[in-house]
Amino acid sequence: MLIVDVLTGGVRGGTAIMFAALGETLAERAGVVNLGTEGCMLVGALGGYAVAAETGNPWLGLLAGALAGALLGLVHAVAVVWRRADQFATGLTLMFLGLGLTSLFGAAYVGKAAPGFDPVPLPVLGDIPVIGEILFRHDPVTYLTFVAAPLLWFALNRTKAGLLVRTAGERADVLHVHGYSPGLIRTVAVTAGAALAGLGGAQLSTAYAHAWFEGMTAGRGFIAVALVIFAAWRPLWVVAGSYLFGAALAVAPALQARGQSLNQFALDALPFVITLVILAVLGRRTLRAAPEELRRVFAR
């Protein structure tokens, strides 16, 4: 059925977006916007695929993708947290840096084979009609997202580390009073968030596309940033948003597989149209739920 194929593709295609959006949620809850998420995903995609190709181990590739994203995120953190650079300009510059680096060093891996993650149906669960096909017949990295969002929610709302991150985004002066460094907390949050974006990029190259090609993220990083606003900075809402945008990405291949001759450019634009419509509908109402320090960034 078309709807089953679209929903199944939504889970597969939404995984990379979800990792990136969860990472951006972490950074923004600490009061920092990272428009360079697209660049972090790109370096993660190349790093993951290159290491998997050279070592023959896709798990090492996944780790390398997260590390590559973290390194690019650290550059953003140093620039905006410690050097007080403009967050939006720095993020966009970071995106172009990621695009340039991957174009330069990724040429050798275009068309090169690398081991990746194949679908592994879960016993019993994968045999459930419809639901099993949609949720439980995916690659191991996709299954990680089933626990990633609840874990981030728990970390942010039920741990001391999460309290420090939320305070950095709401009332940084309180941290000073209690002897904590808001800059250090934000740096860790942005770097960890970029690592998740890199992980999403690595999933894209080693589990979703099983290939590397220039610009393969195709705007998913920007969708992830918009999704954080759509989800009102709540990790569990990110899950629904990621699958929605993943399903939008899955519409085109599902229709093509059935011989439908629709405008390819219109189908490719569908996820971005949905993003614009949702942001326009939500407007300023959602921004009221933003962390206080983040609202100051938007106001500037």
pLDDT per residue over 210-256, tens digit each? 999 999 999 999 999 999 988 999 999 999 999 999 998 888 778 77
Q: Is 258 exposed, middle or buried (0-12, 13-18, 19+ CB in 10 A)?
A: exposed
133 Cβ neighbours under 8 A, 6+ residues apart: 4, 8, 126
Q: Give the phi and the psi of residue 139 in degrees, each rounded to 5.
A: -75, 160
CATH classification of the domain holding 15? 1.10.3470
CA atoms of 14 and 116, how far apart (whole Å): 18
Residue 273: which H helix or E strand, with range? helix 264-287
CA atoms of 140 and 163, how far apart (whole Å): 31
Q: What is the pLDDT of residue 42?
A: 98
Angle, nearest 10°, between helix axes 58-77 and 37-55? 150
For residue 62, give the nearest of 123, 115, 126 by alpha carbon. Answer: 115
Contact 233/27 with Cβ under 8 angstroms? no
User: Mind listing the pLDDT tens digit of every residue in the chain (300 residues)?
Assistant: 788 999 999 999 999 999 999 999 999 999 999 999 999 999 999 999 999 999 999 999 999 999 999 999 999 999 999 999 999 999 999 999 999 999 999 999 999 999 999 999 999 999 999 999 999 999 999 999 999 999 999 999 999 999 999 999 999 999 989 999 999 999 999 999 999 999 999 999 999 999 999 999 999 999 999 999 889 999 999 999 999 999 988 887 787 777 776 676 777 787 888 878 877 777 666 777 789 888 888 776
Collapsed DSSP state (helix, strand, coil) of residue 89: helix
Our CA angle for 174, 26, 39, nearest 5°, is 130
**Which pair of structure tokens corresponds to residue 65?**
């993708």
For residue 242, give the nearest of 103, 149, 147, 116 by alpha carbon. Answer: 149
Q: What is the domain extent for residue 212?
A: 2-298
Give how many domains the chain has, as a whole number.
1
Q: Give the phi and the psi of residue 116 in degrees, each rounded to 5.
A: -140, -165
